[in-house]
Amino acid sequence: MTSQTIANTPTVDQIRRAPKVLLHDHLDGGLRPGTVVDLARETGYTALPATDPDKLALWFHQAADSGSLERYLETFSHTVGVMQTRDALVRVAAECAEDLAEDGVVYAEVRYAPEQHLEGGLSLEEVVEAVNEGFRQGERRAKENGHRIRVGALLTAMRHAARALEIAELANRYRDLGVVGFDIAGAEAGYPPTRHLDAFEYLKRENNHFTIHAGEAFGLPSIWQALQWCGADRLGHGVRIIDDIQVHDDGTVELGRLASYVRDKRIPLELCPSSNLQTGAAASYAEHPIGLLRRLHFRATVNTDNRLMSHTGMSREFEHLVEAFGYTLDDMQWFSVNAMKSAFIPFDERLAMINDVIKPGYAELKSEWLFRQTASTSGSAAAKD
């Protein structure tokens, strides 16, 4: 084993401590099971399938692990059901920031749909302000516990509804107050992104950023529309771009026009391996398209999607990829820098995160083998004496 191999092969502990960047994470998909139980009791929500946190966590994972995006999305009725008060939203957002920071995430963009949190009488503005307050609380608590994280919010419109322009305008009003961009989400089939062209045209006129869920359960037409009709800055998932890539028997690879465009334009792919396995977009981690997309140098990023439903976190996602593809700390750094380059905060802030946080963090991890080796050698010498 060479020093280069030792330096780059990450341990589970190093994966957790490595500075990671998360672009695709749903607030209502990342609640702590105990928090769901607490909030249900406090708000009078009685539809939970279990009230024991451990049993509830297992139910979420099993219900989401169906191979169907539609069934996967049904699990959110319970998390959204307990997120209808200001206090609940503040608590969930604060815990989200704390949990991500504990997992080594230094920058995250967390998305949620304000229109889904109005049943308790809150206005759209009150929802946004509560979530923003929670993120700031979580950032402060993380710092007190020795972790650093910055969280930006993405406001999501539901693609089956008709409030996209209203939510886009909301995102624009709060763009300097904690909201960094816009998204549309929900079942893709039957609800193309072109239904919301007015929202995307508005955001482009306002020089604002947006990503679009595309190429997850639906194929290349969804990606094509998101890019060429709507003008998305990033692709939420985008995993089905693999359908436009042909690997020949001799190992050569041929990219179609759309795949070539996505790679040439450096369009970020918000890939979510564990979630993709649950919704049927990939059969296993080893077969996930991220392996080929990494080799072909697409702007691939690693994400969690829904931490509760997928029983995952950023560290766990990387653990799976390290096992499946033999990824090293260099690969982890590559994915993290890709994600930071693709974030919706200003360029100078992205650059500072890359140069002052991410690269030094990985450099320190990659140097640890040397000190372990030195300590081991010193110990052996002392024993001989």
Residue 244 included in any domain: yes
**Per the residue annotation, which of 98, 109, 129, 216 is the catalytic one?**
216
Residues 6+ apart with CB under 8 A from 221: 192
CATH code at position 61:
3.20.20.140
Given this model, what pLDDT does residue 218 score? 75
Task: Report pLDDT digits (tens) over 139-162.
Answer: 999 999 999 999 999 999 999 889
Given this model, what pLDDT does residue 382 score? 52
Residue 376 included in any domain: no
Task: Report pLDDT digits (tens) over 320-366.
Answer: 999 999 999 999 999 999 999 999 999 999 999 999 999 999 999 99
Could you list the residues known to form a binding site for Zn(2+), using ranges: 24, 26, 213, 305
| pLDDT bucket at 191, cuts 50 / 70 / 90 | confident
Q: Between helices 86-102 and 33-43, what is the axis angle to 10°?
A: 170
Residue 375 included in any domain: no
Task: Report pLDDT digits (tens) over 21-38.
Answer: 999 999 999 999 999 999
Burial of residue 290, with CB atoms counted within 10 A of its CB: 0-12 exposed, 13-18 middle, 19 or more buried: buried
Given this model, what pLDDT does residue 383 score? 54
Could you list the residues known to form a binding site, using ranges: 24, 26, 28, 186, 213, 305
Task: Report pLDDT digits (tens) over 259-310.
Answer: 999 999 999 999 999 999 988 888 899 999 999 999 999 999 999 999 999 9
Whether 139 sits among the annotated catalytic residues: the reply is no
Q: What is the mean pLDDT of residues 88-99?
A: 98
Residue 378 included in any domain: no
| pLDDT bucket at 53, cuts 50 / 70 / 90 | very high
Residue 381 included in any domain: no
Given this model, what pLDDT does residue 379 score? 54
Residue 71 included in any domain: yes
Instruction: Specify the number of domains making up the chain.
Output: 1
Task: Indicate the pTM of the whole model.
Answer: 0.93
- Which amino acid, 244? D
Could you list the residues known to form a binding site for substrate, using ranges: 26, 28, 186
Given this model, what pLDDT does residue 160 score? 87
Q: Print the domain residue range for 207.
A: 19-369
| pLDDT bucket at 204, cuts 50 / 70 / 90 | very high
Residue 383 included in any domain: no
Residue 2 included in any domain: no
| pLDDT bucket at 3, cuts 50 / 70 / 90 | very low
